[in-house]
Structure 1
């Protein structure tokens, strides 16, 4: 068995036996042990009592974190003419139509968020098999198929986070950086959990939010008391 490094051993010891913590204690633990040489992302995972294979149990939505994500989000916009100009002025990193489609089809996906005007969807639809698995497909339900491309670009750049339940009913996202103040991380965690709570689908039966946990990029996870996370 490989010998653990001092840093890894110290982190494991700090987390040993700790679970079902309050949001405040969990954030303090994760932030205090995020000691990598880069600014680690604080990530949240929610295990939900849903089966996303059923349409009435799909969990999907978007939330604007009050303190942003701390991440530089690259935004691509499918638009033409005046709307393309509007997207560029709003700060979009990549703007195009058929040319952008061909770039993506060629395997180059140099963006974190994809927005499209409604008239572009016949083109974007051809990219479903590429963008869909990466959760990048524009969708009117989360505001990424819209004529107001400027607002959508600004929201994406300003800390808006999309979420979608995976096959096992797990929703996960980055909710800030380890360098954030604890109070800001706590606020972001609660805002994200609240958004997922509000997105509870009509077909969900039994306990909806089964487990909440947070971790840093390089650190172990710790579970949060669900009532503490939901403010109950």
Structure 2
């Protein structure tokens, strides 16, 4: 049997008997036990009563966390001419058209968000098999296919988080850093949960949000009371 380290053992002891706590209690636990040598990400996972294989049960959306994510987001933008210059001025890390398509086809995927102006979609469409599985495909419903590239780039770099139900109906995301104040983490978590709640699809039946779990990158997980999470 593998030996458990002192830090892991102490964290498990701190979490023992703690379940279905409030968002505030969960954040205090997670922060106190995030003791890695780097600033751990606070992560949330939500089990939903949906089957994403059915179109009317897919959950997908975007939310701007009020206190940001604490993560540096690299943004790639497909645009030409004036819109390309606008994207660069807004802080985009990579801007291009056919040249950017060729770079991605060659394996260069050093970005976290991909934005495109509508006229670029015939080019971007050729990258569906590459960008799609990585959740990088621009989508007008998520605000990543737009003529307002300034707003799209600013939002992406300012704490906007995309979410999508994966196999088993689970959505997850990073909602801040362990170095954040408790109150800021609580606000971010509640904003994320609220966005997922509002994204309930028409095909969802019965209990929609079934379980909410939070943890830090290297720490144990704790469940949040669903009633507290959704404000009941």
Asked if TM exceeds 0.5, the reply is: yes
> Aligned to 1:26, what secondary structure does the other structure show?
helix
Give the Cα–Cα distance (whole angstroms) in 2 for the partners of residues 45 and 16 of structure 1.
20
**2:79 maps to what in 1?**
79
> Aligned to 1:88, what secondary structure does the other structure show?
helix
**1:171 maps to what in 2?**
171
Give the Cα–Cα distance (whole angstroms) in 2 for the partners of residues 59 and 179 of structure 1.
30
What is the root-mean-square deviation of aligned Cα atoms in Å?
0.6
What displacement does 1:2 show? 2.2
> Aligned to 1:214, what secondary structure does the other structure show?
strand
* Alignment gaps of 5+ in structure 2: none
* Matching of residue 46 in structure 1 with residue 46 in structure 2: yes
What displacement does 1:3 show? 1.5
**C-alpha offsets along residues 104-162 of structure 1, whole Å, 9 cap, x if unaligned?**
11111010000000011111111111111111100000000000001000000110101
Give the Cα–Cα distance (whole angstroms) in 2 for the partners of residues 13 and 46 of structure 1.
24
Give the Cα–Cα distance (whole angstroms) in 2 for the partners of residues 81 and 220 of structure 1.
49
**2:61 maps to what in 1?**
61
* Matching of residue 189 in structure 1 with residue 204 in structure 2: no
| TM, length-normalised to structure 2 | 0.99
What displacement does 1:94 show? 0.3
What displacement does 1:84 show? 0.3
| TM, length-normalised to structure 1 | 0.99
Give the Cα–Cα distance (whole angstroms) in 2 for the partners of residues 224 and 181 of structure 1.
19
User: Equivalences for 1:35-184 in 2 at 5 Å?
Assistant: 35-184=35-184
> Aligned to 2:196, what secondary structure does the other structure show?
helix
> Aligned to 1:175, what secondary structure does the other structure show?
strand
Give the Cα–Cα distance (whole angstroms) in 2 for the partners of residues 59 and 165 of structure 1.
5
